[in-house]
Amino acid sequence: MRKTNIWKSPRKNPIQERSRLTVDSILEAAIQVFEQYGYAAGTTARIAERAGVAVGSLYQYFPNKDAILVALAEQHIAECHTLATQAFAQTREMTLSLAETLRLVVKGFIDLHAANPQVHRLLSEEVVPPLEVQQAQMAVERMLVEEVQQILASYSAVDASRRSLVAYVIVQVAEHLTHQLVLHPPHKLTPEACVDEVVQVLLGYIQQQSIGCDATRMVSGTQ
pLDDT of 152 over the 80 cut? yes
pLDDT of 201 over the 70 cut? yes
pLDDT of residue 136: 87
List, for residues 3-62, the tens digit of each pLDDT value. 554 445 555 555 566 788 999 999 999 999 998 998 889 999 999 999 999 999 999 999
* % of residues, the chain, pLDDT over 90: 35
List, for residues 173-200, the tens digit of each pLDDT value. 998 988 888 888 877 778 788 899 999 9
CA distance 155 to 150: 10
Residue 185: HSE in the Cβ half-sphere, 13 Å Cα cutoff: 15
72-222 is classed in which CATH architecture?
A: Orthogonal Bundle (1.10)
* % of residues, the chain, pLDDT over 70: 86
CA distance 138 to 126: 18
Q: Are 107 and 19 in contact, with CB atoms under 8 Å apart?
A: no
Among 99, 101, 76, 107, CA closest to 174: 107
**Domain residue ranges of the chain, discontinuous segments joined by +:** 8-61, 72-222
Summary mean pLDDT of the chain: 83
pLDDT of residue 53: 95
Cα 27 versus chain centre, distance: 19
pLDDT of residue 142: 93
Q: Are 116 and 82 in contact, with CB atoms under 8 Å apart?
A: no
pLDDT of 95 over the 80 cut? yes
DSSP 189-215: --HHHHHHHHHHHHHHHHHHHHHHHHH
Residue 8: Cβ within 10 Å count: 15
Task: Tell me the CA distances in angstroms from 37 to 46, 58, 104, 114, 122, one per residue in order.
Answer: 9, 19, 35, 20, 12
3-state helix, strand, coil in the chain (%, to 5): 75, 0, 20
Mean pLDDT of 70-95: 85
pLDDT of residue 145: 94
Rounded to two decimals, what is the model's pTM?
0.77
CA distance 71 to 65: 10
Q: Which fold has domain 8-61?
A: Arc Repressor Mutant, subunit A (1.10.10)
pLDDT interval class at 114 (50, 70, 90): confident
pLDDT of residue 221: 47
pLDDT of residue 220: 44
